[in-house]
Structure 1
Amino acid sequence: MTPAARVQAAIELLDQIIEGARNKGAPADRLISAYFKQRRYAGSKDRRAVRDLVYRAIRLCGEVPYDGRSAMLAVATEDASLVPLFDGSEHGPAKIGGGEMAAFIGTAPDWLMEKLKASGITGKEAEALLGRASLDVRVNTLKAARDTIELPEEGERLAAPNALRFPSGTQVEQWREYRDGLVEIQDHASQWVCEAVGAKAGETVIDLCAGAGGKTLALAAQTGNGASLIACDTDKRRLGNLAPRAARAGAQVDHTVLLNPKVEREALAPWIGKADRVLVDAPCSGSGTWRRQPEGRWRLDQAELKRLTQLQDHVLDIGAELVKPGGTLAFVTCSVLDDEGANRIEAFLERHKGWSSTKVPIPLGKARGQGTRLSPFHDDTDGFFVALLALEC
């Protein structure tokens, strides 16, 4: 592909990603993968260059652009070397017209910027949400130890007990050690969140929103397979991925429970009031993961945020019913918005008597309300909010 053809390919992909954002369709990474499957002639350098252009545009444009061309014109306003590539050639983009407008450059839509500001996320802290993320792994202590494991590349030791960091793009999933379950990809903040849960051998621990089970596997390793682990979710496809992951990791999960939305308590009846610890890793906007999925801010609107906060209250209420007296409820979102963090804990404590917040025992993050928030700017991690709630005996 010529440089101009790469720009045109990025424009075509951005058109698809913009449509997906508006209509809640497929995410950017899936659309990019499908695009190149249909264009086998594009080499690895071409794919890498086009992908880079696409994500430069996504990171740069705060609002959903009108179209892919306006998004790439925004990139060209920041990188003058791209302007001559709008050359009208056979496979390149049309020449830039006299009144053409580039897309709006910014961090996020105005309404979302107000939410960030109200949450104390401004200036460089807001800009850091769209930076480049490293790739972190957790050494699986059921099979290996950080001090002795030998990997194809040497990673940076992080503060979490089993964390290693590698440059973005490191092909960890191609490593034999990954295929054999010695390491799992998991952000440094996420590893600390699992440490904060404080699960111990002999306890009953419920991962209420387990998804594909990344945190479930971390809890299994943390307890040396000594806890009774119950992994639950409403997504059958994602929950179905847990069994093969657990087998690869050597992790013991006693029960996987598929939940039906709005009638979750029926499936959870055997554990009501019996859990020592419940982890609620609640569905959220993912504002803390924009470094990895920057089009997430294009896909979020005020109605969706309201729906998510109501869902977070709902799963918190369910989680509270599962905890036995003296037990702990951990609430986590990969969001930096107070609507999905401190505000949810305040609302929970107003609804539920006999509960109190406790200190989150991790060395990273800053206090936010009655919990702790980690952020890319201050902690060089994904953005997370975590709070611990204790039920009195």
Structure 2
Amino acid sequence: MTPAARVQAAIEVLDAVIDAAKAEGAPADRILADYFRARRYAGSKDRRAVRELVYGAIRALGPVPGNGRDAMLAYGRADPAHHHLLDLFDGSPHGPAPIEAPLTDNGAIEARPGLAPDWLVAALARSGVAGEAAAALMGRAPLDLRVNTLRTDRASLDLPEPGEPLAAPQGLRFASGTRAEEWEAYAQGLVEVQDHGSQLACLAAAARPGEMVVDLCAGAGGKSLALAAAMENAGRLIACDTDKRRLGNLAPRAARAGAGLIEPRLLDPGREREALGDVAGKADLVLVDAPCSGTGTWRRKPEAKWRLTPRALRGYAALQDRLLDIAAALVKPGGRIVFVTCSLLDEEGAQRACAFLSRHEGFAARPVNLPLGTARGEGWRLEPLRDGTDGFFIAILARPC
């Protein structure tokens, strides 16, 4: 592919990403994979270059662009280092059509630089995330691994690359793009891909051998696997979700990790209480890793900023309240709820914990003691800039004995 053809390919991918953001469609990485699956002629260098252009434009632009062409033009204008891209709008074969509007006319291009849509930038600022802390959300995340203590431990593990030991007891960090899933250690279940912040959230949960634990929003089971390791395969761990496809990924992952105590349980949306009636009032720990806006994961999924709307944010907050109320009915006297969101918005963190405590008399927030992060309301927050993790809010909500 010529350089101009790569720009045109990036424009086409961005068109699909923008459409998907408006329709809650496929994520950018899947769109890219599908795009090149249909274009086998593109070599690895071409795919890498187009990917860099697509994600560079997403990270650089604020509001959702009108289309991929406007997005790429704005990206080219935003930084002198990218001005050469504008020269590639030359009408050459397989390249983008020439620029017709003068570049000095800002009104000619809908897209503009920024962190995110204006309302979302303001919401982050109200939540104490602004300036460099906000800019860090558009950085690139490293690859973090958790060593699976059901199979081995960090001190004795031999990997193709050494990795940087992290504050989490079994955490290792590698450069972004490290293909750890191709390692024999991964195939043998010795390591799992898990962000350092997610590992610390599981550390805060403090699951112990012999406990009854409910992972209420298990998804594909990353945190369930970490809890199983902390429990040393002793006790009972029920991993729940309403998404059959995602939960279906847990069984093979658990088998690879040797996590034999995990019991996957598919829930019917809106009827979760009935499906969990047998464990009501019996759980030592209920982990509520609730669906959220994902503002803390923008380093990995930058297009998520274009998918969020004020209405969707209100919907997430309402869902989080409902899940916490379900968890309150499951936890036994003396037990605890650990509420986690991968969000930096107080609407999905400190405000939700405070609202829960106001609804449930007797529950109290316990201190969160982690080697990274800082207190936020009745909980704890991890941030990319300060802590080098994805953004997380963590609260421990204890039921009295």
Match of 1:27 in 2: 27
Shift of 1:206: 0.8
Q: Which residue does 2:133 correspond to in 1?
A: 125
Instruction: Determine if the alignment matches structure 1 residue 95 to structure 2 residue 94.
Output: no
Asked whether the 8 Å contact 1:199–1:227 carries over to 2, the reply is no
Partner of 1:155: 163
* Aligned counterparts of 1:179 and 1:365: Cα–Cα separation in 2: 32
Match of 2:11 in 1: 11
| Deviation string, structure 1 residues 263-285 (Cα, Å, up to 9, x no partner) | 11111011000001110000000
Q: Using the alignment, how far apart are the partners of 1:212 and 1:389 within structure 2? A: 24
Asked whether 1:342 is paired with 2:345, we answer no
TM-fit CA distance, 1:101: 2.0
In the alignment, which residue of structure 1 is the partner of 2:272?
264
SS in 2 for 1:209: coil
Could you say which residue in structure 2 is the equivalent of 1:39? 39
Scaled by the length of structure 2, what TM-score is found?
0.97
Unmatched 5+ residue regions in structure 1? none
Show CA shifts across 1:143-173 (max 9, x none). 1111111111121111110000011111111
Q: Distance in 2 between matches of 1:194 and 1:184?
A: 14
Instruction: List structure 1 runs of 4+ shifted beyond 6 angstroms.
Output: none
The equivalent of 1:326 in structure 2 is 334
The AA in structure 2 aligned to 1:180 is Q
Which residue of 230, 239, 243 corresponds with 1:222?
230
Compute the displacement of 1:102 (Å): 5.8
How do 1:61-72 and structure 2 match up within 5 A? 61-72=61-72
Render the CA deviation track for 1:54-74: whole Å, top value 9, x for unaligned: 000000111100110111111
Per the alignment, residue 105 of structure 2 pairs with none
Structure 1, residues 313-361: CA drift from partner, whole Å, max 9, x if none?
0000001111000001100000000000000001001100010000012
Q: Is the 8 A contact 1:231 1:253 kept in 2?
A: no
State the identity as a percent.
62
The number of equivalent residue pairs is 393
Letter in 1 for 2:59: R
Q: State the partner residue of 1:85.
A: 88
Q: Would you say the 8 A contact 2:228–2:262 is kept in 1?
A: no
Give, in whole Å, the separation in 2 of the partners of 1:368 and 1:342.
6
In structure 2, list runs of 5 or more residues that go unmatched: 103-107
| 2: CA distance, partners of 1:97 / 1:374 | 46
More divergent stretch after superposition (68-77 vs 367-376): 68-77
Whichever residue aligns with residue 347 of structure 2, its letter is D
Q: What root-mean-square deviation, in Å, do the aligned CA atoms of Structure 1 and Structure 2 show?
A: 0.9
Secondary structure at the counterpart of residue 351 of structure 2: helix
Distance 1:4 1:227 in 2: 59
- The equivalent of 1:182 in structure 2 is 190
Q: CA deviation at 1:98?
A: 2.9
**Equivalent residue number for residue 57 of structure 2:** 57
- Rounded to whole Å, the distance in 2 between the matches of 1:253 and 1:193 is 20
Q: Does 1:48 align with 2:56?
A: no
> Structure 1 counterpart of 2:134, which letter?
A
What residue number does 2:114 align with?
A: 106
Counterpart residue type for residue 76 of structure 2: A
> 1:178 is matched by which residue type in structure 2?
Y
SS of alignment partner, residue 284 of structure 1: coil
Q: Give yes or no for contact 2:254–2:262 (8 Å, CA) kept in 1.
A: no
Note the C-alpha offset of 1:85. Answer: 1.3
Q: TM-score, normalized by length of structure 1?
A: 0.99
- Contact 2:66 2:110 survives alignment (8 Å): no
What is the CA–CA distance in structure 2 between the aligned matches of 1:103 and 1:270, rounded to whole Å? 53
Rounded to whole Å, the distance in 1 between the matches of 2:262 and 2:183 is 28
Equivalents in 2 of 1:75, 1:109: separation in Å? 16
Partner AA of 2:280 in structure 1: I
Structure 1 match to 2:219: 211
Q: Secondary structure at the match of 2:332?
A: strand
Residue deviations 1:103-125, cap 9 Å, x none? Answer: 11101111111111110111011
Report the Cα distance in structure 1 between the residues aligned to 2:251 and 2:49, rounded to whole angstroms.
37
Aligned residue for 1:40, secondary structure, equals coil
Structure 1 equivalent of residue 314 of structure 2: 306
Partners of 1:111 and 1:130 lie apart in 2 by 17
